[in-house]
Structure 1
Amino acid sequence: MLNVLHLLAALAMAGCLYALWREARGISQSRGHLMVAPPLAFGCALLMIGLTEPDLQQPDVLRIAIAAGALLGAARGWFMAVDIDPLWSTVRLPSGSDGFWMVILLAFVVAMAAAAPFVSTQGQSYVPYATAAVAFGAGFLSTRAVAVYLRTRS
């Protein structure tokens, strides 16, 4: 059944989409703005953990998902093109739409996890996989943002 946690997870994903919209369009932004989406994504992952039934939780899968996302995010953040404006202390990611598309995928996963119990009687069994997907995305977004932030410091 739907509850407040579903609404909060959807709001966290909407906040991530809003935070990454400028980045996806290639508009200059402050370096601190890079750090807005990762806490929202991790908050959504924590909410999804709260939505998972205790007997269905898979902590090992979550650890692997976060580690894999972090590894890919660090590689992406380290090797992606970044334009730096030292006068205004802003950065622009010309090819930064990957984070936006990742969050669109995660929002779709959250919506499917919320709708699955209405479609199937076994719908709750999909929530741990959705949680792992959101954890993967949160790891990706956070380490990508940290890698870009560290690369662009003066």
Structure 2
Amino acid sequence: MIAPLSLSNIVTVAAAIFCLWTIGSQSSGGVVKLWRLAIPPCLAGLVALVLLAGVFNATISHDAEWALSAILGGLIGRTRGWLMSVESDQKWGLIRVPRAVDGLAAGFALVVLAMTDFTGAALEDPVIEPQHVAAAAAFCAGYLGLRALAMTMRAVRAPHVELYDTESAR
């Protein structure tokens, strides 16, 4: 059973697309503000929670599948975040992130999952069972969340590197 098409489906797709857009700017490499690392994981968490809330007749096994997926994604994301090379400018709160496609792939997967839920709601027949879609979204959210946290921890502990050129900013 699946809920009919509603505003929550539209918000889920919009949040997933915004997550993909924000992680896309980080995945191309370059220098970003440290706080911007938190935006994609927050949006991914929103998508995962809304998809979980859309599961009717939820059982403890559905919740366990969602939680275990989030934990597994988080463990893999944490490992990836610790393996990425980052440079940090503590004075300006900047971080240089390497060019990587893993975050982009997780963001794209969230868009696909949100669109799958949207399509199932529009057809009033699930394309994939909602609890599996929610669990896959939890995996992506866990991955992005702990990846960003690990990168932030590495940036805070990294030696200071000048990333902002005050002469060229004038």
Same fold (TM over 0.5): yes
In 2, Cα distance between the equivalents of 1:41 and 1:146? 14
Structure 1 position 30 matched with structure 2 position 29: no
Match in the other structure for 1:54: 57
Structure 1 position 10 matched with structure 2 position 13: yes
Say if 1:117 and 1:151 are closer, same or farther in 2 by CA, change over 3 A. same
- Amino acid of the residue matched to residue 56 of structure 2? E
Shift of 1:115: 1.2
Instruction: Name the SS of the counterpart of 1:96 in structure 2.
Output: coil
Structure 1 residues 2-151: aligned runs within 5 Å: 2-55=5-58, 58-86=62-90, 88-116=92-120, 121=125, 123=126, 126-151=129-154
Structure with greater Cα Rg: 2
After TM superposition, the score normalised by the length of structure 1 is 0.89
Q: Which runs of 4+ in 1 moved over 2 A?
A: 54-57, 83-89, 116-121
Say if 1:24 and 1:32 are closer, same or farther in 2 by CA, change over 3 A. same
RMSD: 2.0
Match in the other structure for 1:152: 155
Instruction: Name the SS of the counterpart of 1:153 in structure 2.
Output: helix
Instruction: Name the SS of the counterpart of 2:129 in structure 1.
Output: helix
Shift of 1:56: 6.2
Percentage of matched positions with identical amino acids: 24
In 1, Cα distance between the equivalents of 2:128 and 2:13? 19
After TM superposition, the score normalised by the length of structure 2 is 0.81
Say if 1:33 and 1:55 are closer, same or farther in 2 by CA, change over 3 A. closer
Number of aligned pairs? 153
Match in the other structure for 2:161: none
CA contact (8 A) 2:5 2:122 kept: no
- Amino acid of the residue matched to residue 73 of structure 1? G
Q: Return 6-15 or 142-151, whichever deviates more.
A: 6-15
Instruction: Name the SS of the counterpart of 1:88 in structure 2.
Output: coil
Q: Return 25-34 or 56-65, whichever deviates more.
A: 56-65
In 1, Cα distance between the equivalents of 2:100 and 2:88? 14
In 1, Cα distance between the equivalents of 2:99 and 2:128? 36
Shift of 1:79: 0.6
